[in-house]
């Protein structure tokens, strides 16, 4: 086993794995179409399964099972370079494949280009989606104290 110093911190990888897991397929495809052909070998072909999502009320309460979600995972190896792993939401094998390829490249010297061309657009899109979701939720917010006052309590 080689013990070369990794070119990234563990929490950095956690962050990009999270982004890739939620990335829309269209963005991944757009990025992949600009990539040169690379020789990859499969360690594990894409396979779909269920994962139990667990939560804690308020982040501190007792653990409970929120529900199951579909997850697709795969692992591949770049020719002469790092291995890439992906666990992505949904059942798209293609999405898992592209996410694993991006993960492998992020561990190589190509990482800056991948960050610029893939991770940043994904982050922007996800932030925009989240902001839109928040706005929609905000619009339906009910101020209960107002109702109570109008009722003359």
| Residue of the chain from 42, 51, 56, 149 that contacts another protein (CB under 8 A) | 42
CB of 47 vs another protein, minimal distance in Å: 8
Size of the site for another protein (CB under 8 A): 13
Q: How many helices (H) and strands (E) does the chain have?
A: 6, 3
How many other CB atoms are there within 10 angstroms of residue 96's CB atom?
Answer: 30
List Cβ neighbours of 45 (8 Å cut-off, separation of 6 or more).
74, 93
CB of 15 vs another protein, minimal distance in Å: 19
Distances (CA, A) of 97 to 47, 79, 91, 132: 10, 15, 11, 29
Q: Which two tokens stand for residue 62?
A: 């007792």
CB of 74 vs another protein, minimal distance in Å: 12
Site for another protein in 65-84 (CB under 8 A): 75, 77, 81-83
Residue 22 CB-density burial (10 A; 0-12 exposed, 13-18 middle, 19+ buried): middle
When asked if residue 7 is in the footprint of another protein (CB under 8 A), the reply is no
When asked if residue 85 is in the footprint of another protein (CB under 8 A), the reply is yes
| Residue of the chain from 9, 11, 33, 41 that contacts another protein (CB under 8 A) | 41
Q: State the residues that interact with another protein by CB under 8 A.
A: 1-2, 41-45, 75, 77, 81-83, 85
């Amino acid at each position: 086993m080689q013990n070369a110093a990794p070119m990234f911190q563990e929490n950095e990888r956690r962050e990009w794995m999270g982004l890739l897991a939620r990335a829309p397929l269209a963005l991944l495809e757009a990025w992949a179409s600009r990539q040169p052909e690379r020789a990859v070998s499969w360690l594990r072909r894409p396979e779909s399964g269920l994962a139990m999502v667990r939560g804690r009320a308020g982040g501190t309460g007792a653990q409970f099972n929120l529900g199951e979600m579909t997850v697709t995972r795969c692992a591949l190896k770049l020719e002469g370079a790092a291995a890439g792993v992906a666990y992505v939401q949904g059942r798209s094998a293609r999405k898992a494949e592209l996410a694993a390829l991006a993960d492998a490249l992020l561990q190589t010297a190509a990482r800056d280009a991948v960050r610029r061309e893939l991770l940043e657009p994904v982050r922007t899109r996800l932030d925009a989606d989240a902001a839109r979701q928040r706005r929609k939720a905000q619009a339906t917010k009910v101020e209960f104290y107002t109702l109570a006052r109008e009722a003359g309590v």
